[in-house]
Structure formats: C-alpha cells, structure tokens
Amino acid sequence: MHHNSANILKRGSLGTRAQQEQRLGWSLVFPSVVIILVLILYPVLYNTFLSLFAFDVSGNRTFVGLGNYAEVLRDREFRLALGTTLLYVVCTTLGTTVLGVVVALALHRKFPLRSLVRSIVLLPYVAPVISVVFAWQFVFDPVNGIFMEIFHSQLGWFSQRMNIVGDPSTAVWAAIVFSIWKNFPFTYLMVLSRLQAIDQTLYEAAEVDGASPWQQFKAITMPEIYFVVNALILLRVIWNFNKFDEVYLLSSNVKVLSVYTYLKAFTGTMDFGQGSTLAVLQFVLLIGFILFYVKKVLKW
C-alpha cells in the first residue's frame, strides 16, 4: 500500500494539485469500495437472480420465473413469520425506546456513583449474545428459573410452571424481553449524549419564569430529543426487522422472517430458491417502510 501510493504521488507531481488529490483519494478508498461492491452489492443482486430459480436436492437449478414468489406468498407459514416479525419489531422498538429514554433522563441527573452506574448500564449491550442468551434461558427455565419462581411460586400469576422459551406461542415474548434488555443501552447512550448537549440556560430561564419540571420537560427536553429519538426508532426497526442471532440463539421456536429464511435455506431440503425469495421480500418490505417513515415521520 505504502509503495503504491508513494508512486502515485510521484507521478501526480506532474499534474496539478487537484489531480493529485483525485488520484490519491481514489487509490485510498479503492480497496474498500471494491470489497463493498464485490461482497455486498453483487451478492444482493445475485440473491435476486437466485430467487428466480428452483433448486433440487443436489443443488441444480431450473428457471421458474416468479414461481417462488407465488409459492411464498401463498405459504401460510410465511404469513405467520411476517406476523411474528411485526409483533417482535413493534414491541421491541417500543420497549427499547421507552426504557432507553427513561434511563437516559434518570442518569442525566447528578447522584453519587453516577459514572459507575453509567458503565453498568452499557454491559447488556456489549456482552456477547451467545453468553447472555443462556443466562436468559435459565431465567425462564420452568423448573429452576427465577421468572417462574417469582411469578408462579411467589405471586401466583401463573397457575403452573410454564416453559416459556420452549413453547412456540410464548417464546416470542421471551425474545422480546431479551431484545429490550440487550438493546435499550444503545438508545440510552444516544439520548443521553443529546441531553448533555442541551443548553442549560434554557432550563434556567424556564425556572425564572416559574415553569414546573413537567412543563420544562415538555417545552424544552422533548423538542430537543425529538429528532434523535425518531432516528433511533428508525434504526431500531431496521435492525430488529433483520435480527437473527438474538432471536435464533434464544429460541429457534420464534420464527421471525430471518429465522424462517435461515431454516428454509440451510436445514432440511436446503431450498435456496425460496430462501432467496424470502430474503428479497424481506428487503423490499423494509425499504418500503423506510421510505414511508422518512417521508411521513421524519419529513425529510
């Protein structure tokens, strides 16, 4: 790399300074651009291409046009997966956002050991999914878990010990709780850094005018964090709509779209045709949502 660029510079000394910059600029981003084009954009196009084929067990393909799409759209399991995904995305986005904002507001105030608490709050976000997922599985363990210990034995909200993670109808709720716990620190962090950037004189002026804390929150804090919170909601929807690891590792019973696609393409008959079709549909749905959100909510 060093030699290359040094040579380019030498040759560039014949041209103007702007030309030198052009050449150096491109030679510096060139490796990154090639990697992104070859290994991200090309695969996305190739995936779309694959979705037009049917694959047999030995991996040979035959062109079927939009046949895979017709089949997937008729598939009841696809619609179930879509429903599960929507439930998962809505609940996790809501929970993550509300909890993140509340924690950010709380930790913005001064109190003893604040910096320690601020570090602790980030731990769920940085811990490897694969480790904490087992801790949560034990939390929901029907026999020994703390969840059933509290809500069945102590409070009696459940009439019997249930296997929440093991039962497909309830596993999605465990996945939602886990996702909120894992990801709210990110929202917290972003909102906190926005709160710290608010001009303190605004609050002082409001206090002089006799505004109550609630009025101050509504008139100053809310408008100041409005944009960052909405951007975070958009990011959270994008990420959680595509989420695989956090769901699949907690319980493969939660068939959100990513998990459904993975199981279709890499287990059983390894149906790459339908798998890539599902991936395309998921992407199209997401792009549709993003465009809608950016236009209607963020009003860009």
Whole-angstrom distance, CA of residue 149 vs CA of residue 108: 34
The residue (of 28 and 73) whose beta carbon lies closer to another protein is: 28
**Residue in the block written with tokens 């709050």:** 121
Q: Which of these ranges, 71-79, 85-93, 134-142, 160-168, lies near another protein under the rule CB under 8 A?
A: 134-142
Minimum Å gap between C-beta 242 and another protein is: 3
Q: How far apart are CA 46 and CA 39, in angstroms?
A: 11
Applying CB under 8 A, the span of 77-85, 159-167, 271-279, 291-299 interacting with another protein comes to 271-279
Among 100, 136, 171, 176, binds another protein (CB under 8 A): 136
H or E stretch covering 196: helix 168-196
47 near 279, Cβ under 8 Å? yes
Q: Is 144 in the site for another protein (CB under 8 A)?
A: yes
In the complex, the smallest distance separating the C-beta of residue 108 from another protein, rounded to whole angstroms, is 8
Q: Which of 140, 129, 145, 144 is nearest to 170 (CA)?
A: 140
**Which has the closest alpha carbon to 175: 123, 243, 264?**
243
C-beta separation of 259 from 247 below 8 A: yes
User: Smallest gap, in angstroms, from Cβ of residue 229 to another protein?
Assistant: 14
Shorter beta-carbon distance to another protein: residue 10 or 296? 10
d(CA 79, CA 62): 26
Pair 252, 208: CB distance under 8 Å: no
Among 163, 170, 230, 242, binds another protein (CB under 8 A): 242
Centre a 10 Å sphere on the Cβ of residue 190 and count the other Cβ atoms it contains: 19
Q: Counting contacts by CB under 8 A, is residue 263 touching another protein?
A: no
Of 65-73, 99-107, 157-165, 168-176, the window that binds another protein (rule: CB under 8 A) is 99-107
Q: Would you count residue 294 as binding another protein (CB under 8 A)?
A: no
- Rounded to the nearest 10°, the torsion over CA 16, 18, 22, 28 is 100
Residue 73 Cβ, how far from another protein at the closest point, in Å?
Answer: 18
Show contacts with another protein in window 173-192 (CB under 8 A): 181, 183, 185-186, 189-190
Among 69, 158, 173, 239, interactor with another protein by CB under 8 A: 239
x/- site string to another protein, residues 29 to 48, per CB under 8 A? Answer: x-xxx-xx--xxxxxx-xx-
Segment 203 to 232, residues that bind another protein, using CB under 8 A: 203, 213
Enumerate the β-bridge partners of residue 61: 55
